[in-house]
Amino acid sequence: MNSTTLVIVTLTLGVLIGGGVATLVLVALRVRDRARMAASLELPDGTRAVLLGMDEVAVVVDGSLRVVAVSPPAALFGMHEDSFLPDGLRGLVRETRRSEHPETATMRLNRGVELRLVSARASAITPRLTLIVVRDITEHERVEEMRRDFVSNTSHELKTPVGAITLLAEAVESAADDPDQVRNFARRLSAEAARLGQLTSRIMNLSRLQSADDLTELRDVSVDEVVAAAIESQSIAADAAGITIVRGGARRAYVRGDVQVLTEAIGNLVANAVAYSSRGGQVGVGVRADESLVEIAVTDRGIGIPEGEQQRVFERFYRADQARSRRTGGTGLGLSIVKHAVQRHGGEVELWSRPGRGSTFTVRLPAVEGPPEEKTPKRRGKKARGPKKTKTVESTKTGGTKIKDSRDIARAKGDQS
């Protein structure tokens, strides 16, 4: 073998040996890096910055289920750095590590003292670290349950008048030769149609109040106008039942809102008070106002509501007295409309009731400043005779009364002019 061939062989062997050694070194380095990564608890670059910008609950845990990084909302569920993962999430992390794929589960976790329904998703970001993202779906599930209940209840409530109309239509056809029976069935048919129309109208009103759309007809509303219209709308029903509706309290109070929505809400309260009062009874509508708040209270001395049912009377289609509601044609939506109407105006409605003593529904709304009072121009002409000495009953702001001599009232008016 000449020297040239020997050099070539030597170089070839050197390249092969060098390449093999380099390969072994690279493999060893990769194995070492993998082992180091598997044993490392360091967060990947940028992980903390991402967690700090998250609005949802997110935590990173190590192999011992100890929290090593959190998003700000995680504190609501009691998860902080160096704390341990809540019991409900531990099984999800273990399942994720076993399957080596992201896993999702729905569970209940404590947020303070309240148990919340959450959707949690876990995924591995390193061999030793797992990311868990938790979404609170309590409100979503509540709204979805309300929607299902609303559809179910609406379908059930519509069945009754629709079925009655169908039967009465068949009865009219069968009694075509009997005019008296036809007239009787026609009256009942009209009553059921009116009930169906009222139910449909109230369902539409309630849906409008529950929608995200803003109230469009907003203006400064006179509470006197609202109360007067609400009482007038129930005057026929009250007269038929022999019930007196009395209005008292403050005057010239104003709120910001939709006059039609507010009138319907107060009208519903008056209608309920009339419907659940005994014949010959009395219903009171009182107004109390100060610079920041207006209270409208509707009181009856009827049958009252048991304490266990008072929280449910504002639910849709709920009726405390099913038999009386059927007799009076109630839909079970009136108080639900009241609650949502008041809430849309930034207020609240409160109930006080005792069985056998009656009920008081109090609506509280933010007050606004009313328009300035217009001064009555003075009359010119002959000197008027002094007013006769009579007694005038004037409602006080707190709902009581005080008696004033009419001459004192006239003198006070003259001092102001």
Do 238 and 355 belong to one domain?
yes
The CA-based angle 229-235-236, given to 5 degrees, is: 130
| Mean of all residue pLDDT scores within the chain | 77
123 Cβ contact list (under 8 Å, min separation 6): 96, 102, 103, 130, 131
- Give the domain CATH number at 230: 3.30.565.10
SS3 278: coil
Instruction: Give the pLDDT confidence of 137-170 residue by residue, as tens digits.
Output: 988 887 777 677 666 666 666 666 777 788 888 8
pLDDT, residue 177, reads 80
Tokens of 245: 């509706």
Residues 233 and 297 in one domain: yes
3 state SS for 50-79: HHHCCCCEEEEECCCCEEEEECHHHHHHCC
Q: How many domains does the chain have?
A: 4
CATH code, domain with 149: 1.10.287.130
Does 97 map to a domain?
yes
- Looking at residue 366, its pLDDT comes to 92
Provide mean pLDDT across the span 185-196: 79
Q: What's the number of CA atoms in the CB half-sphere (13 Å) around residue 313?
A: 25
394 bridge partner residues:
402
Please give the torsion angle defined by the CA atoms of residues 9, 10, 16 and 17, in that order, rounded to the nearest 10 degrees: 150
pLDDT digits (tens, 9 = 90+) for 217-272: 788 989 999 999 999 988 888 998 899 999 999 899 999 988 888 998 898 899 88
DSSP code of residue 380: -
CB-side exposure of 146: number of CA atoms within 13 Å?
Answer: 11
- The radius of gyration of the chain's CA atoms, rounded to the nearest angstrom, is 38
Q: Let me know whether 236 and 345 are in one domain.
A: yes
pLDDT in the model for residue 394: 37
Range of the domain at 146: 141-213
Please report whether residue 26 resides in a domain.
no
Residue given tokens 């040996």 in the structure block: 17
Residue 325: the pLDDT is: 47
Give the chain's largest Cα–Cα span: 152
pLDDT score for 376: 42
The span from the CA of 61 to the CA of 54, in Å, is 17
Tokens representing 132 are: 């868990």
Asked, for residue 242, whether it belongs to a domain, the answer is yes
Q: Is pLDDT larger for residue 247 or for residue 192? A: 247
Answer yes or no: are the C-beta atoms of 39 and 128 closer than 8 Å. yes
Amino acid making up residue 276: Y
